Amino acid sequence: MTTPKTIPYKIYLTEDQMPKAWLNLKAVMPEKPDPMLHPCTLAPITLPELTPLFCEELCKQELNDTDLHIAIPEAIRNFYKMYRPSPVVRAYSLEERLGTPAQIYYKFEGSNTSGSHKLNSAAAQVYYAKQQGIENLTTETGAGQWGTALSMACAYYGIHLDVFMVKVSAAQKPYRKAVMQTFGATVTPSPSNTTEVGRRLLAAAPDTGGSLGCAISEAIERAMTTPNARYELGSVLDHVLLHQSVIGLEAKAALDLYGVTPDIVIGCAGGGSNFGGLISAYMADRLQGKNNIEFLAVEPASCPSLTRGRYAYDFGDSGQTTPLLRMYTLGSGFTPSPNHAGGLRYHGMSPVVSKLYHDGFIKAKSYDQEKVFEAAEEFARCEGLLPAPESSHAIRAALDEARRCKETGEAKKILFGLSGTGYFDMAAYSSYNDGTMSDALPTDADLARGFATLPQIPQNA
Amino acid sequence: MTTPKTIPYKIYLTEDQMPKAWLNLKAVMPEKPDPMLHPCTLAPITLPELTPLFCEELCKQELNDTDLHIAIPEAIRNFYKMYRPSPVVRAYSLEERLGTPAQIYYKFEGSNTSGSHKLNSAAAQVYYAKQQGIENLTTETGAGQWGTALSMACAYYGIHLDVFMVKVSAAQKPYRKAVMQTFGATVTPSPSNTTEVGRRLLAAAPDTGGSLGCAISEAIERAMTTPNARYELGSVLDHVLLHQSVIGLEAKAALDLYGVTPDIVIGCAGGGSNFGGLISAYMADRLQGKNNIEFLAVEPASCPSLTRGRYAYDFGDSGQTTPLLRMYTLGSGFTPSPNHAGGLRYHGMSPVVSKLYHDGFIKAKSYDQEKVFEAAEEFARCEGLLPAPESSHAIRAALDEARRCKETGEAKKILFGLSGTGYFDMAAYSSYNDGTMSDALPTDADLARGFATLPQIPQNA
């Protein structure tokens, strides 16, 4: 720990200070997450069963729960240097505006063209695909950040990419498609009639706005039926959280330079990759008894997997084709209201985040979207940065915490993750500005319908 | 000059290394630009004549041609710290892809929410307005970067803003309007029926897509007819170039850390604020005999003020209400084709840039927009950053120069200005991607019609 210095507005690490290894949280968890199961045998899945779907190195990372540090190949570190390190920003203007004694810091992941943290895993996944000689990749995207990130990495490495984009998001964010196409990707709104699972889902619900779970099914089918192809997932899985640990490692390294340890770390959580990455370094220390930091996951009230879901084995996709993951889930058949414009629409939650939440290391809360956009606008006008609706869930919680500190007089140190920018979310901002935004929170009956789609296996009893 | 070190991908100055004073190029120009003239008397304009239009401090800066350094107030330096310093990036990937012996650097100004360098002057202009107790500001915007930048600064300082947005740009970039509204601004497509000059222009050409010159006229009229209001301009004028000198000062400071001096500095030029800012520090040295750097301004072939315009006194606006500026101009009645989506649509050019060009210190070239978007896409896929069409004019010239170096074997050091991002230009990228983009270059007859609108005064002879 160095002598405290005046803390600048933005802390940038030098290239030398950037992480050289990812952090694998599973290695230090007192209890490991339950294993991924084969959907037919219900036995823990093996490496050979996983490699037809994902690149081999990613499968090894997925199943690795012993190595705390996994080296980042030099080529990936060089890719990271094109857009990283991302800064830790001290929100001085916001603190002043709120009149809070709290210190507010945010780790900003949105200054690359994908507009979010997603590029951290895309860069790694496409690198490993290239190393393995894969020529075609497929994926799904919701809000579009992941599809854009993977398009960028695929353009860089010269690999063809098929993106299935959730239909309602494609309609809400028309220009996201154009960005992916500019990077050379083929983009198909999902559900589509280009896959069997898509045709089946369309037949059952012709007017559906789609869901991430459904787009995943289509992308997997495309990968399995295309020569020399693999599927890539942008969140949820352990290897994605591994890559995203670069967020938390950089955040801690930056704050350590100024002797700052946060009292609370706040992140938005959809599939969990941003949140899991953000908390990685501090959580590893917490699990080893080195700090007592509070971790808060924030999710939309319209897709409340942690706060209203069940901790159960479930499929990762609506088509019910993936391995089973034990996670907080609303059921793979759950689809949030198409009115919900705040992203974070996935029915489940990273098994690592889910297990930590289940074991009491993480707290969770949810907000409806008007409260989220209200916070987004307040933040934007003060800090001069238009946040993604997803990230604005964390902003809302951070603002509430800072206001609470104003009442209590606590000089808490708050770190939140600003995972991305909202430049492609202006349709949603417009509806907020003109007062036509509404949210449609799931009723208990909606949730019951989702839970009814959980697989009927003993673990769910 | 320090010992050469390995140059990182991105060079960030520390806060201590950021400029504490702007650089006023006029102070070291061997011949000053001709003075701004009052449009009625044709005499050089005086401070009292200018202050009803602009804030007083800005007027003083506008007329100052003796002080090389003008201190940046601490409040503005703190605003700058929210989004600056911007990095100088070494385009290692691009160099490798091109196989060029040239070193390619770019100064990236797009990582703030306005998406461009425009915030550098907006922050200053609104600060001075606030200091003077002004409650309402008006402005025009074309592509939308300036309007967004000023909206951000006005939101920060709590000043109401009226933006007149060129009608064709408003149609091409629908979400820009939503961004400005999110920051609290009132946005009106121009020409509009809310001003006299707008009604007059609409009567003469009901189907016009508008022009920057026309939007300026409307914004000025609104400022002159609103209590406690002033007008703000985002480019062209000397005080704007002064504020933008922060780009060039930072660029030189960053490259100096590694002992690098560019052989050529390339920037896109519309009104000239980006270009004038980018070249500031190196040009000041050049004018004092300290280097022999080549400076290249790049403009669209559809709005070629430097390469096909006249060096003459002209109005800054289509309504012919502003003071007269001696500059390279196509005539205030010139309007580029609505098919042109690459920005940089202004009929004139900064008097400082014009004078330096006239005196041989600057070269200029133009490209049609297909070539510009081709370069944009090549750059994006390689460097992972989607550039603004405006900035892509500079990219095209830099790529051409780097390819020439490959042929000749020259290890030239190229610095170009990446003035902004293209996240709100996806309609234009889409038309490029689907092959429907076309440009409509002005014919000699088009130019003659523009020149016919030049004021008939002796200086134009």
Portion 356-375 of A in contact with B at CB < 8 A = none
Residues of B in contact with A181 (CB under 8 A): 430, 433
What's this model's pTM, rounded to 2 decimal places? 0.95
Q: Is residue A213 very low, low, confident or very high in pLDDT (cuts 50, 70, 90)?
A: confident
pLDDT in tens, B180-199: 999 999 999 999 999 999 99
> Is the pLDDT score of A260 beyond 80?
yes
Say which of A10, A82, A429 has its CB closest to residue B383.
A82
Residue of B293 and A209 predicted with greater confidence: B293
Q: Which of A86-90, A423-427, B221-225 has the lowest mean pLDDT?
A: A423-427
Give the contacts of A287 (CB within 8 A, at least 6 positions apart): A25, A28, A29, A30, A361
* Pairwise CA distance, residues B142 & B312, whole Å: 24
Nearest-Cα distance to chain B for A28, in Å, is: 34
pLDDT-based confidence at A440, cuts 50/70/90? Answer: confident
| A214 — pLDDT class (breaks 50, 70, 90) | confident
Average of per-residue pLDDT values in chain A: 94
* Whether A438 contacts chain B with CB within 8 A: no
Mean pLDDT of A171-185: 90
Say whether residue B438 is in contact with chain A using an 8 A CB cutoff: no
Residues B79-96: tens digit of each pLDDT: 999 999 999 999 999 999
Tell me the mean pLDDT in the region B253-279: 97
Rounded to 5 degrees, what angle do the CA atoms A196, A201, A206 make? 125
What is the per-residue pLDDT for B459? 64
8 Å CB contact between A454 and A330: no
pLDDT tier at B460, thresholds 50, 70, 90 = low
Nearest CA in chain B to A16: B8
The pLDDT tens digits of the residues spanning B120-151 come to 999 999 999 999 999 999 999 988 899 999 99
> Considering chain A, what percentage of its residues have pLDDT values greater than 90?
86
For residue B197, give the nearest of A46, A284, B29, B205 by alpha carbon: B205
Closest to B432 in 3D by CA, of B356, B385, B373: B373
- Contact residues on chain B for A81, CB-CB shorter than 8 A: 8-10
Burial of B133 per CB tally in 10 Å (0-12, 13-18, 19+) = exposed
Q: Taking 70 as the threshold, does the pLDDT of residue A280 lie above it?
A: yes
A17: contact with B, CB 8 A cutoff:
no
Looking at residue B43, its pLDDT comes to 95
Which secondary-structure segment (H or E) carries B348?
none
State the average pLDDT over residues A131-138.
98
> pLDDT-based confidence at B213, cuts 50/70/90?
confident
Q: Is the pLDDT of residue B200 over 80?
A: yes
* Identity of the residue in B377, B384, B429 whose CB atom sits nearest the CB atom of A152: B384
Q: What pLDDT, on the 0 to 100 scale, is given for residue B1? A: 41
- State whether residue B186 sits within 8 Å of chain A by CB: no
Give me the percent of chain A exceeding a pLDDT of 70: 98
A279-298 exposure pattern, b = at least 16 Cβ within 10 A, e = fewer: bbbbbbbbbeeeeebbbbbb
Strand residues in B127-203 grouped as ranges (E): 136-141, 160-166, 186-190
Mapping DSSP to helix (H, G, I), strand (E, B) and coil, where does residue B420 land? strand
For the cut 90, the answer to whether the pLDDT of residue B440 exceeds it is no
State the smallest CA–CA distance between residue A376 and chain B in angstroms: 10
Q: What pLDDT is recorded for position B367?
A: 96
pLDDT at A173: 79
Residue from the list A15, A93, A178 with its beta carbon closest to the beta carbon of B426: A178
pLDDT over 70 at A297, yes or no: yes
Return the pLDDT at A158: 96
B259: CB partners within 8 A, 6+ apart: B1, B2, B3, B4
Residue B338: predicted pLDDT: 77
Strand (E) positions, B153-293?
160-166, 186-190, 229-231, 264-268
Q: How confident is the model at residue B106 (pLDDT cuts 50, 70, 90)?
A: very high
Count Cβ atoms within 10 A of the Cβ of residue B307 and give its class: 0-12 exposed, 13-18 middle, 19 or more buried. Answer: middle
A181-193 average pLDDT score: 96
Q: Is the pLDDT at A460 greater than 60, yes or no?
A: no
- Contact of A8 with chain B, judged by CB distance below 8 Å, is answered with yes
Q: Do A9 and B82 touch (CB under 8 A)?
A: yes
Beta-bridge mates of residue B106: B89, B416
pLDDT per residue as tens digits for the range B381-398: 999 999 999 999 999 999
Q: Report the pLDDT value the prediction gives residue B2, as an integer from 0 to 100.
A: 46
Q: Is the dihedral of CA A48, A321, A35, A364 positive or negative?
A: positive
Average pLDDT over residues B449-455: 96
Q: Residue B340 — pLDDT band, cuts 50, 70, 90?
A: confident
Positive or negative, the Cα torsion across B323, B326, B332, B338? negative
A335 and B CB contact within 8 Å: no
Q: What is the pLDDT at residue A130?
A: 98
- Residue A1 above 80 pLDDT? no
Phi and psi angles of residue A172, each rounded to the nearest 5 degrees, phi first: -75, -25
User: Which of the residue ranges A206-210, A271-275, B10-14 would you say has the lowest mean pLDDT?
Assistant: A206-210
CA separation for the pair B379, B396 (Å, rounded):
9
